[in-house]
Amino acid sequence: MKNRKAVYTVISLLFAIGFYFYDGFAFENIISNKTTKISGFDFLPTSMTGQVIHHQFYSLSYNEKYEQAEWIAYELNKEQLLGLPNKRPYFEQDPKVTTQSAHYRNYKNSGYNKGHLCPAGDRKFSTEAYNETFFTSNISPQTYEFNSGVWNRLEEKVRYWAQKYQKLYIVTGGILTPNLKTIGSEKVAIPQYFYKIILNDNGTEIKAIAFLMPHEKSDKGLYQFVTSIDEIEKLTGIDFFPELPDELENELEKSSNYKSWSFR
């Protein structure tokens, strides 16, 4: 009987020790997942909908009313510009959007392109990263002239800046307001304006620049679309950099000065 009690005691002790390490390991994994699921993006905006989705290589806030993301946020660094050949996949609904993202069929015969918010061209460094940009939560209706024109020029400029400044934080989306025109049976809204906000932290200083573009063909220089982050916040209701110290946030967001950015 004594031997049996001793065995039970040892088993109980081993179980307690095992649970302790398991619990610690599980806790560390939770912390790790919480850190990595925003892909290094330390400056996520606030969400007007409460439906924030974290993919491996970008995060988004989905707005069911307008059937698209109110913002997409991701980091782009110099090393990620080393593009690999990737086969273009089909667009798919986002499995993480609980209300279901709009189906790609809404775009059929609509006259509008499936405009990427996080560009596929920014995620060519791996097949997984590239494929993630083809979730329908990452697209918005854009005319061909806008998508392949001035919007594409801005995307190329952002990649140029990532090469020049090493690392950027990017937030982009359409201005979602009531009574927008829609496409498809799910009534996907067509934004009249699109925005892109870029922040650069090189370790010694932080600078930001914001663009607000009418959804139309344009041959204007990109600098002519520069605005303040404050202006975009007024239009969207979103606080874009709530994690920054207030004094720095206020200074960055009120400025529309683009002189510290290289426009070639």
Residues 19 and 66 in one domain: no
Cα 120 to chain centroid distance, Å, stands at: 12
Label residue 31 by pLDDT band (50, 70, 90). very low
Label residue 40 by pLDDT band (50, 70, 90). very low
**Would you say residue 262 lies in a domain?**
no
Residues 146 and 243 in one domain: yes
- pLDDT reported for residue 42: 65
Structural domain containing residue 21: 1-36
Residues 10 and 78 in one domain: no
- pLDDT reported for residue 226: 97
- pLDDT reported for residue 18: 44
CA dihedral (16, 22, 24, 30) positive or negative: negative
Residues 114 and 62 in one domain: yes
d(CA 166, CA 61): 26
Label residue 2 by pLDDT band (50, 70, 90). very low
**Would you say residue 263 lies in a domain?**
no
Residues 116 and 9 in one domain: no
Residues 9 and 52 in one domain: no
Residues 5 and 113 in one domain: no
**Would you say residue 261 lies in a domain?**
no
Residues 20 and 129 in one domain: no
Residues 45 and 25 in one domain: no
Residues 81 and 166 in one domain: yes
Residues 66 and 170 in one domain: yes
Q: Does pLDDT of 129 surpass 70?
A: yes
249 vs 13 pLDDT, higher one: 249
| DSSP-assigned states of every residue in 151-189 | HHHHHHHHHHHHHHHSEEEEEEEE---TT--EETTTTEE
- Residue 191, domain CATH: 3.40.570.10
Highest mean pLDDT among 2-6, 142-146, 246-250: 142-146
Q: Does pLDDT of 3 surpass 80?
A: no
- Residues pairing with 159 in the sheet: none
**Would you say residue 16 lies in a domain?**
yes
Residues 47 and 162 in one domain: yes
Domain total of the chain: 2
- Contact criterion met (CB below 8 Å) for 192 and 154: no
- Contact criterion met (CB below 8 Å) for 80 and 58: no
Mean pLDDT value across residues 125-152: 97
Q: Does pLDDT of 210 surpass 70?
A: yes
**Would you say residue 243 lies in a domain?**
yes
- pLDDT reported for residue 143: 98
Helical ranges in the chain per DSSP H? 2-36, 127-132, 144-147, 150-165, 229-236, 246-254
